[in-house]
Amino acid sequence: MDANRKELKQFIRPHLTEERFQHTVRVTDTAHHLADIFGGDAHKIEVAGMLHDYAKYRPYEEMRRWIEGSVDVPKDLLNYSPVLWHGPVGVKMLEKEWGALDKDVQSAIASHTTGNAIMSIYDKLIFLADYIEPGRDFPGVQEARRLAEVDLDKACLFALDNTIRYLMSKQQTVYPGTFHAYNLLQKKQEEENG
Ligand SMILES: [Fe+2]
Ligand SMILES: [Fe+2]
């Protein structure tokens, strides 16, 4: 898995729009910046960042078949928006089309759209980088960026809270993994605050 950025770019390029390709590069650079503050192996971050949206534009029917046919992809995804599927399904497609991936990389790609009940440093870095990369523009992004410079957990919690509120304000469903991630980090804050 000793791929460099040039190889990763060549691999993902045919699968993404120009806009999504640029987003991918910004996410990876942002994740490296966060890792400079909070730690993390640069090579794992490079691979996870560059591959995180690999499956974004695959047909939903193809993704559905992967979810149905893979024992380690949560089946409850099928009850939620297909825009969430490209994370977990991307890991399966990459196993086949790219090759073996490190477990931390797999987890970060799988959980980048939803968050998860357990979040490793890599899960948090990619999730947050995806949320705050410089191309993002939505209410709250400035605050998320500010928090991201000082406290990784607080920044992730802010992003999860903002996402859940947004979905609810639009009367959309919220994937349980997102609530699990929110609860995990909220509980941690409560413990830290005594
Ligand atoms: Fe994504
Ligand atoms: Fe993304």
Residue percentage of the chain with pLDDT more than 70: 99
- Residue 159 within any structural domain of the chain: no
- Residue 67 within any structural domain of the chain: yes
Expressed in angstroms and rounded, the spacing between residue 145 Cα and the centre of ligand 2 is 16
Expressed in angstroms and rounded, the spacing between residue 69 Cα and the centre of ligand 2 is 24
Give the Cα-Cα-Cα angle 39, 160, 68 (nearest 5 degrees). Answer: 95
What pLDDT, on a 0 to 100 scale, did the predictor assign at position 162?
98
Quick one: which ligand is closest to 22's CA?
2
Residue 43 sits in a domain whose CATH number is 1.10.3210.10
Expressed in angstroms and rounded, the spacing between residue 192 Cα and the centre of ligand 2 is 30
Residues around the ion ligand 1 (C-beta < 5 A): 53
With bands split at pLDDT 50, 70 and 90, how would you rate the model's confidence at 3? confident
- Residue 32 within any structural domain of the chain: yes
Rounded-to-integer distance, Cα 163 and Cα 165, Å: 5
Residue 40 has which token pair?
């993390």
Quick one: which ligand is closest to 23's CA?
2
Q: What is the dihedral of CA 89, 176, 25, 93, to 10 degrees?
A: -10
Expressed in angstroms and rounded, the spacing between residue 131 Cα and the centre of ligand 1 is 10
- Residue 71 within any structural domain of the chain: yes
Expressed in angstroms and rounded, the spacing between residue 50 Cα and the centre of ligand 1 is 11
pLDDT in tens, 106-159: 999 999 999 999 999 999 999 999 999 999 999 999 999 999 999 999 999 999
Return the percent helix, strand and coil in the chain, to nearest 5: 70, 0, 30
Residues in contact with 164: Cβ distance below 8 Å, sequence separation at least 6, in sequence order: 174, 178, 179, 182
What is the total residue count of the chain? 194
- For 53, 78, 100, 128, 142, the CA distances from 57, given in Å and listed in that order, are 8, 17, 22, 21, 28
> Which residues span the domain enclosing 104?
5-137
Residues around the ion ligand 2 (C-beta < 5 A): 53, 130
- Residue 20 within any structural domain of the chain: yes
Quick one: which ligand is closest to 126's CA?
2
Quick one: which ligand is closest to 86's CA?
1
Q: Average pLDDT of 40-67?
A: 98
Number of independent structural domains in the chain: 1
DSSP H or E run through 45: helix 42-51
Q: Which of 147, 186, 133 is nearest to 38 (CA)?
A: 147
Provide φ and ψ at 39, rounded to 5°.
95, 170
Expressed in angstroms and rounded, the spacing between residue 70 Cα and the centre of ligand 2 is 23
- Residue 45 within any structural domain of the chain: yes
Q: Average pLDDT of 68-86?
A: 97
Evaluate if pTM is beyond 0.85.
Answer: yes
Residue 109 has which token pair?
């790609």
- Residue 21 within any structural domain of the chain: yes
What pLDDT, on a 0 to 100 scale, did the predictor assign at position 1?
45
Give the Cα-Cα-Cα angle 141, 147, 148 (nearest 5 degrees). Answer: 85
> Cβ of 59: how many Cβ atoms within 10 Å?
9
> Does pLDDT of 171 surpass 60?
yes
With bands split at pLDDT 50, 70 and 90, how would you rate the model's confidence at 2? low
Rounded-to-integer distance, Cα 44 and Cα 47, Å: 5
- Residue 178 within any structural domain of the chain: no
What pLDDT, on a 0 to 100 scale, did the predictor assign at position 194?
81
Expressed in angstroms and rounded, the spacing between residue 191 Cα and the centre of ligand 2 is 31
- Stretch among 1-10, 11-20, 152-161, 185-194 having the lowest mean pLDDT: 1-10
pLDDT in tens, 13-49: 999 999 999 999 999 999 999 999 999 999 999 999 9
